[in-house]
Amino acid sequence: MQFREIKNNIFYIGLNDENRVIFDELIPLENGTTYNSYLVCGSDKTAIIDTMYPPLKEIYIKNLDENGIINVDYIIANHGEQDHSGTLPDLIKKYPNATIITNAKCAENIKEMLLIPEDKIQIINNNDELSLGDKTLKFIMAPGVHWPDTMFTYIKEDNMLFTCDFLGAHLPFDDLYAKCDDTLYSMAKRYYAEIMMPFRMMCKKYTALVEEIKPEFVLPSHGPIYNKPEFIINAYKDWTSDTPKNLVVIPYVSMYGSTEEVIEYISNKLKKAGIEVYTHDLIRDDLGDLATHFVDAATIIIGASMVLAGPHPAAAYAALLANALKPKAKFVSVIGSYGWGGKLVETITGLLTSIKPEIIEPILIKGKAKESDYASFDAFADTIIEKHKNIS
């Protein structure tokens, strides 16, 4: 594959991975992903920015050979995770003169995780610069988006900002530049939900920094390159804002339909009041869609059947997922049904240790809903409608 030039001797040398079906063994990928890597040819020195996910390293190295890259002076590791740094051991063998340039935290990670020898690494600090001759690389520490070792690399002369995982998307591409359409928006949002949302305040901070830099190109390590960065900057400004939307998300599992019946009744009431409602069947639906709806939700209601004296494990998993992704929701509740007893509500709410929403009085019924239960369902819906009145 011939490397494609982005601008002034800066080339895209990454790869699509359409076959990858799950990331971090956690959340499914709809279309696969990409591992972006870049070759920067200065007048004196050559650098590679980020490398390759190891299962694809043979193709990656073959491409370097076919494009005649016989010498590399620097390999910039913006982040130690193996999908970007995993081919460092191979590259330092292939290019014995190359020095790995990275920050102290990332250096620790690649020494521990990839057994990179210390003498191959040059540590840089925030705002340090490295000359390639007619191009200057500037390193900007960006801890927390999404690992503590994350940094950005900025090429001053070309106004190009390499943002590592930040501002990325799991979306393979053929055209180099992002088509700023609905597909990219939804894939970037899903990606944000899955790996960036737990660090929302840091994402907010670095979105403002990217906006201040005003790069001509934003070049993330997954998904298309932005030659119109305002598309992704504006999206991140919205997703990282403190204000949720008038939206309720209800992940649920219902063994015999009793919990689902209550959820359907309450959803209809909320929708009639103008609230956007998304229900997610935790057994059959895609967890990535649920994570995406967590981004904007003002209220999360977890629906569960009681099984084996506790909430169904799928509902407990949804609570753990919400707790890990740390959505900005202001309100949480539980709707459940039981056959003979157990601890459903307290087990679910007890799993929400890292988010501090207001808990709306849950609904717990024995078996199917009775005529006498509907007054409490109406009151539950009215409480949410009232809480949402202050949300635009």
Q: Are 77 and 100 contacting, i.e. CB atoms less than 8 angstroms apart?
A: yes
Number of residues that bind ligand FEO (CB under 6 A): 9
The nearest distance, CB 33 to ligand FEO, in angstroms, is 8
Q: Among the candidate windows 79-87, 206-214, 224-232, 327-335, which touches ligand FEO by CB under 6 A? A: 79-87
What single string gives the DSSP state of each residue in 281-297? ETTTS-HHHHHHHHTT-
Say how far apart CA 218 and CA 144 lie, in whole Å.
18
Least separation in angstroms between CB 85 and ligand FEO: 9
- The DSSP code sequence of 90-142 is HHHHHSTT-EEEE-HHHHHHHHHHH---GGGEEE--TT-EEE-SS-EEEEEE-
Burial of 388 (0-12, 13-18, 19+ CB in 10 A): buried
Q: Which is nearer to ligand FEO, 89 or 144 (CB)?
A: 144
336 phi/psi in degrees, rounded to 5: -145, 165
Considering the rule CB under 6 A, would residue 222 count as an interface residue with ligand FEO?
Answer: yes
Work out whether 84 is an interface residue with ligand FEO (CB under 6 A).
yes
- Residue 220 forms beta bridges with which residues? 164
What residues does 160 pair with on adjacent strands?
A: 155, 217
Nearer to ligand FEO, 37 or 46 (CB): 37
177: which DSSP letter?
B
| Part in contact with ligand FEO (CB under 6 A); list of ranges 62-70, 80-88, 122-130, 307-315 | 80-88
Cβ-based nearer residue to ligand FEO, 53 or 217: 53
The region of 40-48, 76-84, 310-318, 330-338 touching ligand FEO under the rule CB under 6 A is 76-84
Between 142 and 335, CB nearer to ligand FEO: 142
* Strands 310-311 vs 299-307: parallel, antiparallel or unpaired: antiparallel
Q: Which residues inside 139-198 make contact with ligand FEO, applying CB under 6 A?
A: 146-147, 165
Rounded Cα gap, residues 291 and 250, in angstroms? 11
SS3 content of the chain, % helix, strand, coil (to 5): 35, 25, 40
- Give the number of residues written for the chain: 392
Nearer CB in complex with ligand FEO: 165/260: 165
Min dist. Cβ of residue 388 to ligand FEO (A): 35
Instruction: Render 213-272 in DSSP notation, one character per residue.
Output: H--SEEEESSS-BBSSTHHHHHHHHHHTSSPPPSEEEEEE--SSSHHHHHHHHHHHHHHH
- Contact region for ligand FEO (CB under 6 A) — 75-83, 252-260, 292-300, 301-309? 75-83
- Check binding of 221 to ligand FEO (CB under 6 A): yes
Q: Residue with CB nearest ligand FEO?
A: 81
Q: Could you give the C-alpha distances from 119 to 92, 93, 97, 194, 290, in angstroms and in order?
A: 11, 13, 12, 35, 45
The amino acid at 214: K
Shortest spacing between CB 236 and ligand FEO, in angstroms: 17
Q: What letter does residue 343 receive in the DSSP assignment?
A: -
Stretch that binds ligand FEO, among 59-67, 78-86, 100-108, 339-347 (CB under 6 A): 78-86
Q: How far is the CB of 60 from ligand FEO (least distance, A)?
A: 15
Q: Looking at 20, 57, 79, 328, which residue binds ligand FEO (CB under 6 A)?
A: 79
Q: Tell me, residue by residue from 231 to 250, as one string, x for binding to ligand FEO by CB under 6 A and - for no binding.
A: --------------------
The minimum distance between CB 318 and ligand FEO, in angstroms, equals 24
Q: Rule CB under 6 A: is residue 289 a binding residue for ligand FEO?
A: no
Q: For residues 146 and 200, which CB has a smaller minimum distance to ligand FEO in the complex?
A: 146
Q: Measured from the CB of residue 82, what is the shortest distance to ligand FEO in angstroms?
A: 8
Which CB sits closer to ligand FEO, 147 or 377? 147
Half-sphere exposure of 376 (CA within 13 A, CB side): 13
Report the nearest approach of ligand FEO to the CB of residue 80 (Å).
8
User: Which stretches of the chain bind ligand FEO, using CB under 6 A?
Assistant: 79, 81, 83-84, 146-147, 165, 221-222
